Amino acid sequence: MKGQGTYDRIYTVVRHIPRGKVATYGQVARLAGLPGHARQVGYALHALPERSTVPWHRVLNGRGEISLRAGAGERQRQLLEKEGIVVDDQDRISLPRYGWLPEGDVDGQEDKDGDYFR
DNA sequence: CCACTGACGAGTG
DNA sequence: GCACTCGCCAGTG
């Protein structure tokens, strides 16, 4: 294929996040084939032009929080709520509820011990 | 080349 | 849950 740079691969993954769902930086990095490069994902999104069609606002940190500072964070919050996503007082989003599950919806999620919970 | 920073994450106490 | 450390890597001075 084309000589896609690291950033392009990240943007491609972000574009696949469905409306009304969210993903974490680490998750995006992993799906882009860059495990452990979560920081670079943040850097890549930061470099996006304002008019980009990339839904950057659907990317949150591992705790499900908006990781931006006051100003930009408020903008992201609005975009999220506009999609029907509930944002906490602490700029927090429920990952179990809105987290994007690539490859279709699975009802149970794996616990780190291998058990299932709902 | 070195030091520091930053939309992060996992591990430890 | 909080504070701290280390790993990752691009950009900046």
Q: Is residue A36's beta carbon less than 7 angstroms from any atom in nucleic acid strand C?
A: yes
Which nucleotide has the shortest C1'-to-CA distance from A43?
B7
Q: Is residue A37's beta carbon less than 7 angstroms from any atom in nucleic acid strand C?
A: yes
Distances (CA, A) of A81 to A6, A51, A68, A76: 30, 19, 16, 9
**pTM here?**
0.87
* Alpha-carbon span A50 to A53, nearest angstrom: 9
How many Å apart are A30 CA and C1 C1'?
Answer: 27
Q: Can you give the pLDDT of all 118 residues of chain A as single tens digits? A: 666 788 999 999 999 999 999 999 999 999 999 999 999 999 999 999 988 999 999 999 999 999 998 788 999 999 999 999 999 999 999 999 999 998 765 555 544 444 444 3
